[in-house]
Amino acid sequence: MKIIGLTGGIASGKTEVANIFKRYGIEVIHTDEIGHNYLSHPEMKEKIIDIYGKDILTNGQIDRNKLGKIVFSNNEEKKRINTLIHPLVIADIINRIQQAQEKGHEIVIIESALIAEDEDRLPHWLNGLILVVCPEEIRIQRLVNSRGLSYEEARLRIQSQRKPEEKSTIAQWVINNVGDLKTLEEQTKKIIEEIRNVV
């Protein structure tokens, strides 16, 4: 089985790329989705309330926007939340990879903004890395339009992550997402063929 990472900064278009992989019958594991699910687990919820108080809640649930404002403007808080959630997410990913293998999938894509976020080498458990890049101004506008963030909030979220271009030295494939969806699909399709034939 080939396990390929898919990374890129927030609003770069990596989820759209992941959706293209799915359309071609390739298994995709969305780590953000897994992390968000754990926020609603009672034990995790209690831990987060212990740290930030009940102001972090909306209608009795962790409010991701409120939490986002805290963690994306303070690197220490971001590390604290990641330390809580990451072990659970990693265990979940391992489980999903095993399930995909049992179902006979030959390729699994792990979509995560955090791949190579703190180091300049490919994690040993990956067979390759796809990096999606997109100019910062376009990404800011996407966040403003799709998530209702202010310009400054969008900029802070982007700057809380490592510059995606810095990961290009360890990526086997780089997708420049500056065109339309058709162009994005063409780039992705080419990578699918290479993964099937080369990696």
Tens digit of each residue's pLDDT (9 = 90 or more) over 149-167: 999 999 999 998 899 989 9
**Residue scoring higher pLDDT (72 or 31):** 31
pLDDT at 98: 96
Residue type at 181 in one-letter notation: L
Give residue 99's domain range: 2-197
* Phi-psi map region of 175: left, alpha, beta (phi>0 left; psi -120 to 50 alpha): beta
- Cβ-Cβ contacts under 8 Å for 156 (sequence gap 6 or more): 72, 73
- Cβ-Cβ contacts under 8 Å for 93 (sequence gap 6 or more): 29, 31, 34, 110
Residue type at 140 in one-letter notation: I
Question: Does the pTM of the predicted model rise above 0.85?
Answer: yes
Kindly state the tokens that stand for 158.
């982007």
Please check whether residue 5 is in contact with residue 130, taking contact to mean a CB–CB distance below 8 angstroms: yes
pLDDT at 123: 86
Residue 26: Cβ-neighbour burial (10 angstroms; 0-12, 13-18, 19+):
buried
Separation CA 74–CA 53 (nearest Å): 17
**Residue scoring higher pLDDT (138 or 198):** 138
Residue 17: Cβ-neighbour burial (10 angstroms; 0-12, 13-18, 19+):
buried
Q: What pairing do the DSSP bridges indicate for beta strands 173-176 and 27-30? A: unpaired
pLDDT 10s digits, 9-66: 999 999 999 999 999 999 999 999 999 899 888 999 999 999 999 999 999 999 988 9
pLDDT 10s digits, 107-152: 999 999 889 988 888 888 899 999 999 999 999 999 999 988 999 9
pLDDT at 15: 93
pLDDT at 68: 86
- Phi and psi of 110, rounded to 5°? -105, 105
168: domain CATH number is: 3.40.50.300
Domain count, the chain: 1
Average pLDDT of the residues in 171-180: 94
Separation CA 161–CA 54 (nearest Å): 27
